[in-house]
Amino acid sequence: MEDTIALRDFELKAHGIELERDFQADLPAVVADPHQLEQVFLNIINNAVDAIIETGRVGALRIRIFADDPHVVSEFHDSGLGMVDPKHVFDPFYTTKGVGKGTGLGLSICYGIVKEHGGEITAYNHAQGGAVVQVRLPEAVGEKPESEGERIVARRESSLQGRVLLLDAEEALNYEREVLSTAGFDVVALSSGETVFELLSQDSFDIILLDSALSGRVSSEGVLGRMREVRPEMASRILLLLPPSNNSPARSFINAEGVLCFVKPFEASALLAILRRFLRARAAVGN
């Protein structure tokens, strides 16, 4: 938490936002990926800072960490105007920010990461004003790991299994292929959509990562449309990779088709968290 706060310390001070810490001493241990938790905490703090700035007033952000058996709770309470609809803040693409200021994927990704750690993330408006977000992580079972080697083993995620078809720009293929392969996936990578249907006539994949800016004569929209005709069962396994701009031509296509999306650039941990959630959802419905 302190590492995450340090990333926003300058901006908090620049906007006159008072940071209140209330960290319980002698907290139980949790087993978690520190980089993923940093991403969760950073997303929440970013939203809190934006909410406080929007009031046009000097504000405060209170962060508490406390034990609530059998969980350790990280709580963020800002002095903003509160959430318009707390029940939907974790839905993909839900955002109340203006055009160009948010994709609506931040808290959705946080939700996936926390769930993968066996925890819960909730949001509500405080009776005294402002919004509250709580991250609840289960206490570790057994003794706290002592050596660095034990800590690495304790927080290492289980290997991911499945076949992934990666359709992306050539310059991104090596990085994404390495991330997916290291996580345990069997990866087939293509930089053009022109040969994908020949491949799919002979092969199947658990996930298809499709770049919205796919180069060549066959666009991402063409790939999805054609796949729905010839391999409809595979179309539901597509995760569309989007550029950060809200003005991307793919946006209207996404809204019309209801395609699951993920915005570039992304941290490897965020991508893997989404893929874990994606595979779990498919397994739950038997698809």
Summarised one tens digit per residue, pLDDT across range 33-73 is 888 888 889 889 988 998 899 888 889 999 999 999 899 99
Together in a domain, 252 and 202: yes
CATH number at residue 224: 3.40.50.2300
Does a structural domain hold residue 152?
no
CATH number at residue 99: 3.30.565.10
Its domain, for residue 190, covers 163-285
pTM for the structure as a whole:
0.50
Spatial distance between the Cα atoms of 68 and 24, rounded to a whole number of angstroms:
11
| Domain count for the chain | 2
Structure tokens at 181: 């392969």
Does a structural domain hold residue 155?
no
Together in a domain, 47 and 107: yes
Together in a domain, 41 and 114: yes
Together in a domain, 130 and 177: no
Summarised one tens digit per residue, pLDDT across range 109-120 is 888 888 888 899
- Of 138, 173, 192, the residue that ends a domain is 138
List the one residue out of 227, 249, 228, 240 whose CA is nearest residue 274. Answer: 240
281 pLDDT band (50/70/90 cuts)?
confident
Does a structural domain hold residue 6?
yes
- Of 105, 138, 171, the residue that ends a domain is 138
**Count of helices and strands (H, E) across the chain:** 10, 10
